[in-house]
């Protein structure tokens, strides 16, 4: 496990945020089901998205990564006979979406698994919903990966599923639904978490000419008389990564983040509203956001049920707040790559913060001075990035787990150095 040493730094400058991981996953997956050649422009090439690319290849689509920052995809509506094994690495999106798509194998089984972290993540609600749609599938563990999905098609019909665990389940059911033998109806039985990610899935499906009927976040219907049409899809900048860079600007300097696009829905675009609520000087333009360093910021209560990936970002912003910051609605963040609620609480306590942990969140009071510490990211890419940024306020910190950033933001350390951060 690699570690970095971070020293107190003032940062400044302009940086282009990386492309969206979420939209790269969705663009490649949907294109793999569209007859003809599609082009995914400005994709993110990271460990997670490469897992989706490799998985779509294994299922039977032609996917080629060009040297001009584009991906060429030749898709199909059914996959030929065979036994396949898909390694989803650390990616929840990959294993959940490709588990559903694996039902389109004409005959044969697909086994899907991942690393130790992914193999602990819940899958049973998705498997139960797929069974309701006529798919033979099972967990080879206890509701977690490895998974075994029998081919022979997706029958369709009606499925009931919880929305309280992950929005990825709904996305996974929607994407292949157009190739079911009959129309697909999805009924969500309770409150939906992380719902903007479902909006993102539907937006990509529409770009490939498939419409989804819906009633809010409780009911969806996909008519199988439609078909995906190959197209060119441009991946927008990633607000999840941008939120980290913006937090760095608030804590340690002035930063302009470019390459953003507000036209497509992204859960973590909410960072702008949160920063404004904290009285941060934020200037928003059509494709960029400018942040000025703040001597202190306001506290407040923030429900992050719809944007749980902002948990580490808001937690480190709290280190500079003059009032208590309370984060609620993130119970489902305990089932991410790690238990992010417990782990971010543990690590910022090392920095001197006063933290109370709840089942669904945290309350945080900033220390008078940030302490030096050895910080553990638990091989969680978002925790690693957040803790590196928080360490800019200390004299010197060691942050473990640098290898994890290739999951979503491979150039994070280089980009932070280019802004003036002392990271060795």
Per-residue pLDDT reduced to its tens digit, 307-326? 999 999 999 999 999 999 99
* Average per-residue pLDDT for the chain: 95
Tell which phi-psi region holds residue 156, choosing left (phi > 0), alpha (psi between -120 and 50) or beta: left
Whole-number pLDDT of residue 67: 83
- Choose the final residue of a domain: 234, 263, 293: 234
Region 11-38: what's the mean pLDDT?
A: 96
> Could you tell me if 322 and 296 are in contact, meaning their C-beta atoms sit under 8 angstroms apart?
yes
Whole-number pLDDT of residue 286: 84
Paired with 407 in beta bridges are none
Residues 108 and 139 grouped into a single domain: yes
Q: Which residue's entry shows tokens 């607000």?
A: 239
Is 63's pLDDT higher than 70? yes
Residues 211 and 176 grouped into a single domain: yes
Residues 25 and 10 grouped into a single domain: no
Closest CA to 204 of 263, 129, 117: 263
Whole-number pLDDT of residue 122: 95
CA distance 145 to 127: 11
Whole-number pLDDT of residue 151: 87
Is 293's pLDDT higher than 80? no
- Choose the final residue of a domain: 200, 234, 268: 234
Q: Which run of H or E residues covers position 291?
A: strand 288-291
CA distance 92 to 115: 11
Region 119-131: what's the mean pLDDT?
A: 96
- pLDDT tens digits for range 381-403: 999 999 999 999 999 999 999 99
> Could you tell me if 2 and 407 are in contact, meaning their C-beta atoms sit under 8 angstroms apart?
no
Cβ-based neighbour number of residue 10 at 10 Å: 13
Its pTM surpasses 0.85: yes
Residues 398 and 378 grouped into a single domain: yes
Binned at pLDDT 50, 70 and 90, residue 339 comes out as: very high
CA distance 303 to 192: 14
The string of DSSP codes covering 177-192 is GGGSSS-EEEEE-SPP
Number of structural domains the chain divides into? 2
The CATH code of the domain that includes 246 is 3.65.10.10
Residues 229 and 243 grouped into a single domain: no
Residues 310 and 356 grouped into a single domain: yes
Residues 254 and 314 grouped into a single domain: yes
- Choose the final residue of a domain: 178, 203, 234: 234
Q: What one-character DSSP code corresponds to residue 423?
A: E
Whole-number pLDDT of residue 1: 62
Is 364's pLDDT higher than 90? yes
Is 253's pLDDT higher than 80? yes
Residues 214 and 261 grouped into a single domain: no
* Residue-number span of the structural domain to which 112 is assigned: 21-234
> Could you tell me if 91 and 48 are in contact, meaning their C-beta atoms sit under 8 angstroms apart?
yes
Region 5-28: what's the mean pLDDT?
A: 96
Closest CA to 139 of 169, 166, 99: 99
Binned at pLDDT 50, 70 and 90, residue 153 comes out as: confident
Whole-number pLDDT of residue 294: 78
Residues 272 and 193 grouped into a single domain: no
Sign of the torsion formed by the C-alpha atoms of 202, 206, 207 and 209: positive
- Which entry of 48, 238, 268, 309 is annotated as an active-site residue? 309
Residues 14 and 26 grouped into a single domain: no
- Would you call 238 a catalytic residue per the annotation? no
Using a pLDDT cut of 70, give the percent of the chain over it: 100
Residues 230 and 310 grouped into a single domain: no
- pLDDT tens digits for range 192-244: 999 999 999 999 999 999 999 999 999 999 999 999 999 999 999 999 999 99
Residues 264 and 365 grouped into a single domain: yes
Binned at pLDDT 50, 70 and 90, residue 295 comes out as: confident
């Amino acid at each position: 496990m690699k570690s970095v040493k971070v020293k107190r730094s003032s940062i400044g400058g302009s940086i282009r945020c990386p492309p969206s991981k979420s939209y790269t996953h969705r663009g490649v997956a949907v294109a793999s089901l569209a007859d003809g050649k599609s082009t995914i422009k400005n994709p993110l090439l990271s460990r997670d998205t490469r897992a989706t690319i490799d998985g779509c290849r294994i299922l039977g689509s032609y996917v080629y990564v060009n040297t001009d920052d584009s991906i060429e995809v030749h898709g199909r509506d059914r996959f030929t006979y065979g036994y396949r094994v898909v390694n989803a690495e650390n990616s929840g999106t990959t294993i959940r979406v490709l588990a559903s798509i694996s039902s389109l194998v004409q005959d044969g089984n697909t086994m899907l698994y991942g690393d130790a972290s992914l193999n602990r993540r819940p899958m049973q609600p998705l498997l139960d919903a797929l069974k309701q749609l006529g798919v033979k599938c099972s967990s080879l563990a206890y509701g977690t990966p490895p998974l075994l999905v029998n081919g022979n098609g997706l029958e369709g019909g009606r499925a009931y599923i919880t929305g309280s665990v992950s929005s990825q389940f709904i996305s996974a059911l929607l994407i292949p639904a157009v190739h079911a033998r009959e129309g697909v109806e999805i009924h969500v039985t309770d409150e939906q978490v992380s719902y903007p990610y479902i909006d993102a899935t539907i937006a990509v499906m529409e770009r490939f000419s498939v419409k989804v009927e819906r009633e809010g976040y409780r009911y969806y219907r996909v008519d199988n008389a439609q078909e995906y049409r190959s197209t060119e899809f441009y991946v927008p900048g990633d607000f999840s990564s941008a939120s980290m860079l913006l937090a760095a600007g608030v804590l340690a300097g002035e930063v302009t983040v470019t390459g953003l696009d507000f036209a497509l829905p992204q859960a973590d675009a909410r960072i702008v509203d949160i920063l404004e609520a904290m009285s941060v000087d934020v200037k928003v333009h059509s494709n960029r956001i400018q942040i000025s360093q703040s001597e202190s910021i306001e506290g407040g209560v923030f429900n992050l049920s719809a944007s749980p990936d902002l948990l580490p970002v808001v937690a480190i912003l709290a280190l500079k707040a003059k009032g208590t910051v309370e984060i609620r609605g993130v119970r489902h963040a305990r089932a991410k790559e790690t238990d992010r609620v417990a782990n971010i609480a543990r690590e910022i306590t090392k920095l001197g913060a006063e933290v109370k942990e709840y089942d669904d969140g945290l309350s945080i009071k900033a220390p008078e001075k940030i302490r030096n510490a050895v910080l553990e990211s638990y091989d969680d890419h978002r925790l690693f990035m957040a803790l590196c940024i928080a360490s800019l306020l200390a004299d010197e910190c060691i942050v473990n787990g640098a290898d994890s950033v290739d999951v979503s933001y491979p150039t994070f350390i280089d980009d932070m150095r280019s802004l003036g951060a002392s990271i060795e």
